[in-house]
Amino acid sequence: MTDLLKAIDGPADVRLLSRSQLKELAQELRAFILESVSKTGGHLSSNLGTVELSIALHYVFNTPYDRLIWDVGHQTYPHKVLTGRRERMPTLRQLGGLSGFPRRQESEYDAFGTAHSSTSISAALGMAIAAHLKGEDRRAVAIIGDGAMSAGMAFEALNNGGVAKGNLLVILNDNDMSISPPVGALNRYLAQLMSGRFYAAAKEVGKQVLKSAPPLFELARRIEEHAKGMVVPATLFEEFGFNYIGPIDGHDLDSLVPTLENIRQLSGPQFLHVVTKKGQGYSLAERDPVTYHGPGKFDPQVGIVPPATAPKKTFTQVFGDWVCDMAQQDAQLIAITPAMREGSGLVEFEKRFPDRYFDVGIAEQHALTFAAGLACEGFKPVVAIYSTFLQRAYDQVIHDVALQKLPMVLALDRAGIVGADGATHAGVFDIPFLRCVPHVSVATPADEAETRALLSTAFAQDHCVAVRYPRGSGVGTPVPQDLKGLPFGKGETRRVGRKIAIVAFGPLLYAALEVAQELDLTVLNMRWAKPLDEELLLSVAKEHDALVTLEDSALMGGAGSAVLEALQNAQVVKPVLMLGLPDQFTEHGDPVKLMSLAGLDAPGIKASVTKRFKDLLS
Provide the annotated active-site residues.
Answer: 278, 364, 392
Ramachandran class of 429: left when φ > 0, alpha when ψ lies in -120 to 50, beta otherwise: alpha
Q: What is the distance between the alpha carbons of residues 422 and 427, in angstroms, rounded to a whole number?
A: 10
Q: What is the distance between the alpha carbons of residues 128 and 541, in angstroms, rounded to a whole number?
A: 58
Helix/strand/coil for 254 = helix
Residues forming beta bridges with residue 525, ordered by sequence position:
492, 504
Residues forming beta bridges with residue 67, ordered by sequence position:
140
Beta pairing, strands 440-443 & 528-530: antiparallel
Q: How far apart are the first and last CA of the chain?
A: 61
Beta pairing, strands 140-145 & 168-174: parallel
Helix/strand/coil for 46 = helix
Sheet holding 492-495, edge to edge: 492-495, 522-525, 500-504, 546-554, 576-581
Between the CA atoms of 580, 584, 586 and 592, what dihedral angle is there, to the nearest 10 degrees?
-30
CB atoms within 10 A of CB 178: 4
Q: What is the distance between the alpha carbons of residues 9 and 58, in angstroms, rounded to a whole number?
A: 12
Q: Please give the C-alpha separations between residue 77 and each of 51, 81, 221, 275, 551, in angstroms, as whole numbers.
A: 9, 6, 41, 19, 34
Greatest Cα pair distance, the chain, in angstroms, is 95
Rounded to 5°, the CA angle 285-471-86 comes to: 50
In DSSP notation, 421-489 reads T-TTT-B-SHHHHHHTSTTEEEE--SSHHHHHHHHHHHHTSSSEEEEE--SSB-S-PPPPSS-----TT
Q: What is the distance between the alpha carbons of residues 191 and 274, in angstroms, rounded to a whole number?
A: 10
**What residue type is 302 in one-letter code?**
V
Q: Which residues of 578-605 are buried (b: 16+ CB within 10 A; e: fewer)?
A: bbbbeeeebbbbebeebbeebbbbbebb
Helix/strand/coil for 280 = coil
Beta strand segments in 340-431, E: 357-359, 380-386, 408-413
